[in-house]
Amino acid sequence: MKTIEEVLVRMDQIVEECKNQQSRIGFFAILYRQVTRRVWDGILAGEFEDNPRMEVLDVLFAKRFIDAYELWKTGQKPTESWRLAFEASKSSGHLTLQHLFLGINAHINLDLGIAASETMKGKNLAAIKGDFDKINSVLAELVDGVKANISMVSPIFGWLIPLAKGKDEMLLNFSIQVARDGAWKYAGEYHAYPNKDFQIQDRDKNISALAKKLINPGKFLGFLIKIVAFAEWKSVSRTMDQLDQVANETLQGF
């Protein structure tokens, strides 16, 4: 894949596969497709500092998710961060928001820094910082919109918030801004370090630890999550349609 149009064709296929197979991977896939569409609209409108370069970044970024998905579907091993997200998608005991954040965790905390560095291979990484922040603004806006409207798919999710108050609870405190800042720092480390494979493995180990916290938040909150998850819609395709609606409405005015 070399163009965003090709990426969108494959994303459409993945979304349909997830709907047909009732796969919860579709929760992340359908939101990420909206992000990709929004970036493509921005490129066509000339919104970025370097629009052709932004297409390169977006394709490399998307390809890391698509490649991980295809490895997992064919019984091969993607990065551990993605493997944990994909394996968790088999369980109906996790919240929709957990599935979304597991995908975002792997994609921003690991994939984004790599994609930014590869886009600027042999060049000064700092030159892409402005556009790097813009793509993250789209992601942040989308996640905020979903969190604000999560009751559409999780009617009693609000019960968790006061119960988790004051606790170091990653699920409720997940921040795109923190993830973005960490991804940019990692992009610099990856860009400067000659052993890329080691950099990926080392970073993946740390991001996998965050994924495990999202999957297993502790006994008390874990018990509450099971109750909240029980009240969520069981139709994956219906949930995907609602997430798509929320994402579309959120990004229309962005």
Give the model confidence (pLDDT) of 65-97 as tens digits: 999 999 999 999 999 999 999 999 998 888 888
Q: What is the pLDDT of residues 92-122, one digit of tens each?
A: 888 888 899 999 999 999 999 999 999 999 9
**pTM above the 0.95 mark?**
no
Question: Using CA atoms, how far apart are residues 64 and 143, in angstroms rounded to an integer?
Answer: 20
Q: What percent of the chain has pLDDT over 90?
A: 63
Share of the chain above pLDDT 70, in %: 89
Lowest mean pLDDT among 6-20, 126-140, 141-155, 229-243: 141-155
Q: Tell me what the pLDDT averaged over the chain comes to.
A: 88
- pLDDT, tens digit, 9 for 90 and up, residues 147-203: 777 777 776 666 666 665 555 445 555 677 788 889 999 999 999 999 999 999 999
The predicted pLDDT at position 158 comes to 67
pLDDT in tens, 204-230: 999 999 999 889 877 767 777 777 777
CA distance 146 to 206: 26
Query: What pLDDT is recorded for position 168?
Result: 45
Confidence (pLDDT) at 219 = 72
Give the pLDDT of residue 38.
93
**Long-range pairs, 215-222, Cβ under 8 A, ≥24:** 215/84, 215/88, 215/94, 215/98, 215/102, 217/169, 217/170, 217/171, 221/160, 221/163, 221/164, 221/167, 221/169, 221/171
Segments in 22-50 forming alpha helices (H)? 25-44
